[in-house]
């Protein structure tokens, strides 16, 4: 997506805040405040190693952080796959692993998100996501258990807490201090500048190679304890190695931390070989898995095209992206996410009537996906179809509340639709959420035009 510039500025903020955090941390046990926000650093006992380590956050903060970031990360990964049976299944497999891990009592939650890239990630506190791109490449439940086990390992060893601490504290410090990442004036922003709207970037932890090795080892341990065939870990390592060769540049930011795929594959094979035959010969759980992921697998070509289209959109090649998306939508006309992106490309390419038709259909088909609601709202707003834009922007604000840029758009739609009092409330909310930001200035101008003294 087109947020490189915002991202550079954000990274600068991040670096500044990080160095502030670093200077604040002197010794184990010191109490620190990051930009006036949370974060008591503490000495905690690592649940896996039993050793004492310095963490920038204690367990309760780890839990709080995971809980508050989960909805945003899920939506930035294009929302949950709208399939309750699949979600329950992924969660069930994850919980089997969590229950045999060192921290069985965390509020573990596992979901599957629509992101078409090959990835999986963990947030502090035990919130774990696997992408559609990776899920559609797995062959059985044992492989799913290997992926979720690896991520569960990161959380148990508190890698997430350690690696995310600085980045995420910095993000929270920015948000908390009202240093909000403007998306360059929502009025003229390109349709797809969704990441900026979230006020943050999706950050994957940068784990060290040793942390990756440890997560593999822990994942192997959990899946074996939980009764899975450890061959699943070998299968996953093969997929990652293959994907890494196919998309080396992509691979870097995915599972990714992980440039050591051949070593990891060899290690997994050696571990399997060291298990007794009773473990190695466990049945592979394939039947239920294939039934549950059937639709994910049959839509994989369409979603692989979608992945390509998103990369093209990021390079502003919307005409090529539109052709790919059209093909996918022709195959799966009821998929709101694919159609929502098609609508965006059509709007970018100046085909407004088509864009409006597709935005309307997509918005109705995917009521839980933030990006689709936002795109539909922006497209109707761009066409000055204010009353039609309102319900989509209402939905966007309901899915992820309190994002100033989105509240601002909602205000503009309400104002255009003649709902002046509600519009004024929305603008006032923007000013409270992000005082001093561009969005707040814009809201102030609207309030003045409405004759409201702010």
Residue 437 CA: distances (Å) to CA of 67, 402, 405, 442: 26, 14, 10, 9
> How far apart are CB 236 and Zn ion at their closest, in Å?
11
Decide whether 62 or 212 has the Cβ nearer to Zn ion.
212
Taking the complex as a whole, the smallest distance from the CB of residue 141 to Zn ion amounts, in Å, to 20
Closest to Zn ion by CB, 128 vs 324, is 128
Q: How many residues bind Zn ion (CB under 5 A)?
A: 2
Q: Over the range 151-175, which residues count as b (16 or more CB within 10 Å of their CB) and which as e?
A: bbbbbbbbbbbbbbbbbbbbbbbbb
| Closest distance to Zn ion from the beta carbon of 147 (Å) | 10
Q: What residues numbered 269-288 form the site for Zn ion, per CB under 5 A?
A: none
The Cα-based distances of 341 to 55, 170, 318, 366 in angstroms read 41, 31, 10, 12
Question: What's the min distance (Å) between Cβ of 258 and Zn ion?
Answer: 6
What would the x/- binding string for Zn ion be over residues 136 to 175, using CB under 5 A? ----------------------------------------
The answer to whether the beta carbons of residues 374 and 197 sit under 8 Å apart is yes
Closer residue to Zn ion in complex, CB, 215/355: 215
| Residue closer to Zn ion (CB basis): 207 or 392 | 207
Min CB(112)–Zn ion separation in Å: 17
The smaller minimum CB distance to Zn ion, of residues 155 and 307, is found at: 155
Q: Say if residue 237 is exposed, middle or buried (CB neighbours under 10 Å; 0-12, 13-18, 19+).
A: buried
Q: How many CB atoms lie within 10 A of CB 452?
A: 16
For residue 148, the minimal CB distance to Zn ion (Å) is 12
Residue 113 bridge partners (DSSP) = 80, 131
Site for Zn ion in 208-247 (CB under 5 A): 212, 215
Per CB under 5 A, contacts with Zn ion among 173-212 are 212
Least distance to Zn ion from the beta carbon of 214, Å? 9
What residues numbered 324-383 form the site for Zn ion, per CB under 5 A? none
Degrees (nearest 5) of the Cα angle 91, 152, 174?
Answer: 95
How far apart, in whole angstroms, are the C-alpha atoms of residue 365 and residue 367? Answer: 6
Considering the complex, state which of residue 215 and residue 296 has its C-beta at the smaller distance from Zn ion: 215
- What's the closest the beta carbon of residue 54 comes to Zn ion, in angstroms? 21
Mark residues 53-72: x for contact with Zn ion by CB under 5 A, - for none.
--------------------
Please report, as residue ranges, which positions from 88 to 147 form the binding site for Zn ion (by CB under 5 A): none
Q: C-alpha angle 435/439/444, rounded to 5°?
A: 75
Q: How far apart are CA 148 and CA 161, in angstroms?
A: 17
Cβ-based nearer residue to Zn ion, 259 or 367: 259
Q: Which C-beta is closer to Zn ion: that of 146 or that of 215? A: 215
For residue 267, the minimal CB distance to Zn ion (Å) is 14
Q: Which is nearer to Zn ion, 215 or 369 (CB)?
A: 215
Distance CA 295, CA 172 (A): 37
- 53, containing H or E segment: strand 52-55
- Taking the CA atoms of the chain, what radius of gyration do you get in angstroms? 23
C-alpha 44/C-alpha 295 separation (Å) is 44
Q: Which two tokens stand for residue 277?
A: 């035959």
Residues that bind Zn ion (CB under 5 A): 212, 215
């Amino acid at each position: 997506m087109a947020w490189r510039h915002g991202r550079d500025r954000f990274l600068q903020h991040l670096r500044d805040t990080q160095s502030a955090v670093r200077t604040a941390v002197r010794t184990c046990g010191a109490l620190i405040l990051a930009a006036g926000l949370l974060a008591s650093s503490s000495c905690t006992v690592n649940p896996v190693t039993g050793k004492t380590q310095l963490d920038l956050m204690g367990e309760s903060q780890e839990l709080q952080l995971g809980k508050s970031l989960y909805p945003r990360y899920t939506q930035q990964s294009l929302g949950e796959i709208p399939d309750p049976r699949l979600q329950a299944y992924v969660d069930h497999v994850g919980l089997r692993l969590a229950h045999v891990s060192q921290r069985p009592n965390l509020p573990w939650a596992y979901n599957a998100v629509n992101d078409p890239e090959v990835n999986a990630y963990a947030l502090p506190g035990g919130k774990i996501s696997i992408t559609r791109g990776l899920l559609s490449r797995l062959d059985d439940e044992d492989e799913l258990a290997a992926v979720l086990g690896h991520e569960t390992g990161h959380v148990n060893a508190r890698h997430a807490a350690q690696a995310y601490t600085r980045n995420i504290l910095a993000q929270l410090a920015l948000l908390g201090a009202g240093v909000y990442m403007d998306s360059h004036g929502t009025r003229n922003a390109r349709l797809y500048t969704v990441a900026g709207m979230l006020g943050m970037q999706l950050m994957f932890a940068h784990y060290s190679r040793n942390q990756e090795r440890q997560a593999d080892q822990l994942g192997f341990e959990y899946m074996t304890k939980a009764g899975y065939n450890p061959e699943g870990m070998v299968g996953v390592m093969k997929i990652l190695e293959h994907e890494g060769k196919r998309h080396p540049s992509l691979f870097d930011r995915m599972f990714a931390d992980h440039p050591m795929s051949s070593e990891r594959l060899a290690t997994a094979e050696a571990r399997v070989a060291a298990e007794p035959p009773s473990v190695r010969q466990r049945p592979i759980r394939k039947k239920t898995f294939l039934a549950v992921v059937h639709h994910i697998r049959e839509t994989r070509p369409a979603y692989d095209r979608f992945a390509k289209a998103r990369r093209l959109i990021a390079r502003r090649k919307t005409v090529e992206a539109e052709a790919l998306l059209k093909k996918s939508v022709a195959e799966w006309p009821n998929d709101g996410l694919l159609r929502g992106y098609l609508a965006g490309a059509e709007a970018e390419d100046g085909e407004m009537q088509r864009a409006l038709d597709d935005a309307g259909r997509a918005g109705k088909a995917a009521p839980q996906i933030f990006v689709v609601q936002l795109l539909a709202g922006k497209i109707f707003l761009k066409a000055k179809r204010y009353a039609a834009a309102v319900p989509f922007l209402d939905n966007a604000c309901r899915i992820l509340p309190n994002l100033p840029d989105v509240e601002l758009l909602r205000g503009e739609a309400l104002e255009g639709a003649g709902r002046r009092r509600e519009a004024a409330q929305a603008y006032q909310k923007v000013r409270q959420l992000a005082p001093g930001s561009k969005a707040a200035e814009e809201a102030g101008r609207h309030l003045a035009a409405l004759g409201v003294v702010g």
